[in-house]
Structure 1
Amino acid sequence: MTRVLPVLTVLAAIVVVWYLAAVGLNMNWARQQLERDGVTATMPALIGNTMAQERPVLPAPHQVAAGLWEGIAGQKITSKRSLVWHAWVTLSATLAGFAIGTLAGGLLAVGIVHNRAMDQSVMPWAVASQTVPILAIAPMVIVVLASAGVTGLLPKAIISAWLSFFPVLVGMVKGLRSPDAMQLDQMRSWNASAAQVFWRLRLPSAMPYLFASLKVAIAASLVGTIVGELPAGATAGLGARLLSGSYYGQTVQIWSALFTAAALAALLVLIVGWIERITLRRMGLDR
């Protein structure tokens, strides 16, 4: 209870601030509606109107909750109006991009640690790649691959991998270099090969760093997938729901998709954390 109470207190404060912000931002439109209908614009009437607008500037919490319930439980999972269906479309590309990014980041990290030329050449380019805004890269990737006849999941997965490989690369390089000189000297004294040093010393030492970077990478993968869905005019995925909501001024739809994406990201991070605990416990590295 002592752990839950602070969380509930902060949550309650956020909800209160959210309601106050909704009233303030929706007040002007509410006043105009009441005046147009010839209704006296009393404060209770104004506040009630701000809480029930069809297209509010800022939806109230209960409106977003209703939108989530309608999108999750009020539709068939196979329906294109279902948030579950759109979340699955986004999740499939996210997992594909996460796998590609993790593999690329891990392989590059191994090369950088064991090869000085790669360290001096690849690492600066990897850092520079993250300075280019993903919103500028995504349309180019979509257009180029579409001209080559590649559409669907792969373009979104590539954009997702672009964001996810860098945290894995940095974390793995740091982890593979974490053994100190004494540990490396001891492995040399045992006449261990480079492969043995890697599998028995460097890789186990890198596991905590790897999982910390994977938590960042999986969230970045989801962001990359959603960004990849925006410039293509996609009709499926959470990015498509955000795009269509912005086109038609459906702010409740936008916020519902945002909360679904946030919940999906939290779930993915929790799954990575669960795998981390199991893996480190079996390796005897659980702290």
Structure 2
Amino acid sequence: MRSLGPVLTVLVAILAIWYVGAVLMNARWAEDQAQRAHKTLTTSELVIQTMEQKRPVLPAPHQVAVALWQGVFAVSPTSKRSLVYHGWVTLSATLLGFVFGTAAGVLLAVGMVYNRAMDMSVMPWAIASQTIPIVAIAPMIIVVLYSIGITGLIPKAIISAYLSFFPVVVGMVKGLRSPDAMQIDLLKTYNAGGVQTFWKLRMPSSMPYFFTSLKVAAAAALVGTIVGELPTGAVAGLGARLLSGSYYGQTIQIWAVLVVAAVLAAGLVMVIGGVQSVTLKRMGMER
């Protein structure tokens, strides 16, 4: 219960700031409408009107909550109007891209730790790849894959993997190199080979770094999937809902989609955190 106090305090503060921002940003439209009707709004009337606009600049929290209820609970999960349906489309590509990115990141990290030439050549390119804006490279990836007949889930998963592999590379390289010289020398006195040193020392030592990097990679994978849905003309997925909302000025829909995306990202991080806790406890690294 004590831990809920700070969380609720922050939540109340965010909601209060959000409501104030909604009033300030939506007031201009309400005042313009009143002037056209030759009316003068009182403060209470102004506040009420800023909370009831169909296309507000900044939707009020209760408007977003209503949109979430209508998109999640008021329609069938298989309906094209359901945020659950669109969330699953995005999540499926995210999970596939996350697996691709994680596998690529681990393999690259192992290669860089055990091969100096690979370390000197691959790491600079890995860093440079993250300086390219994903909104610029995503259309190119989609066009190239489309030209060879690859469409659907795979292009979005590749874009997702492109963003998610880098945190895994950095985390695993740091983790695999975390054992100090004394620990490595101790294994050598036991006549342990390179493979045994890897599985008995380097890999277990890298687990805390690995799971931390996975949490970052999961969030990045979700961002990559949503960005990958924007230039494809997709009709399903959170990116498609964002795009349609921007076309028709449906700011409430946009904010509802953003909340769903945030919940998905938080859910992925929580799942990874649960797996981390169980794994590290079994390895004796946590109590």
TM-score bin, normalised by smaller chain: over 0.9
Name the counterpart of 1:26.
26
Name the counterpart of 1:219.
219
Q: Structure 2-normalised TM-score?
A: 0.98
Name the counterpart of 1:155.
155
How far is 1:284 from its partner? 1.2
Deviations 1:69-105 (A, max 9, x none): 1100011101111000000000000000000000000
Instruction: Identify the range of structure 1 (268-277 vs 8-17) with the bigger mean alpha-carbon deviation.
Output: 8-17
Deviations 1:182-215 (A, max 9, x none): 1111111111111101011100000111001000
- 1:106 matched to 2:109: no
Q: Is the 8 A contact 1:35 1:41 kept in 2?
A: no
How far is 1:38 from its partner? 4.4
- 1:97 matched to 2:89: no
Name the counterpart of 2:270.
270
How far is 1:42 from its partner? 2.1
Counterpart residue type for residue 199 of structure 1 = W
How far is 1:268 from its partner? 0.4
Name the counterpart of 2:187.
187
Which 4+ stretches in 1 moved above 4 angstroms? none
Name the counterpart of 2:85.
85
Identity rate of aligned residues, in percent? 67
How far is 1:286 from its partner? 1.4
How far is 1:156 from its partner? 0.4
Name the counterpart of 1:244.
244
- For the residues of structure 1 that align with 2:106 and 2:42, how far apart are their CA atoms? 63
- For the residues of structure 1 that align with 2:39 and 2:71, how far apart are their CA atoms? 34
- 1:144 matched to 2:139: no
Consecutive unaligned residues in structure 1, runs of 5 or more: none
- For the residues of structure 2 that align with 1:159 and 1:53, how far apart are their CA atoms? 37
When the two structures are aligned, how many residues end up with a matched partner?
287
Deviations 1:95-118 (A, max 9, x none): 000000000000000000001110
Counterpart residue type for residue 276 of structure 1 = Q
Counterpart residue type for residue 166 of structure 1 = F
Name the counterpart of 1:280.
280
Name the counterpart of 2:13.
13
Counterpart residue type for residue 218 of structure 1 = A
- For the residues of structure 1 that align with 2:232 and 2:38, how far apart are their CA atoms? 45
Deviations 1:28-52 (A, max 9, x none): 1111223334443222221111100
Give runs of aligned pairs for residues 108-127 of structure 1, distance below 5 A: 108-127=108-127
Counterpart residue type for residue 5 of structure 2 = L
Give runs of aligned pairs for residues 44-63 of structure 1, distance below 5 A: 44-63=44-63
Matched residue SS, 1:178: coil
- 1:132 matched to 2:120: no
Name the counterpart of 1:176.
176
Consecutive unaligned residues in structure 2, runs of 5 or more: none
**In angstroms, what is the RMSD of aligned CA positions?**
1.0
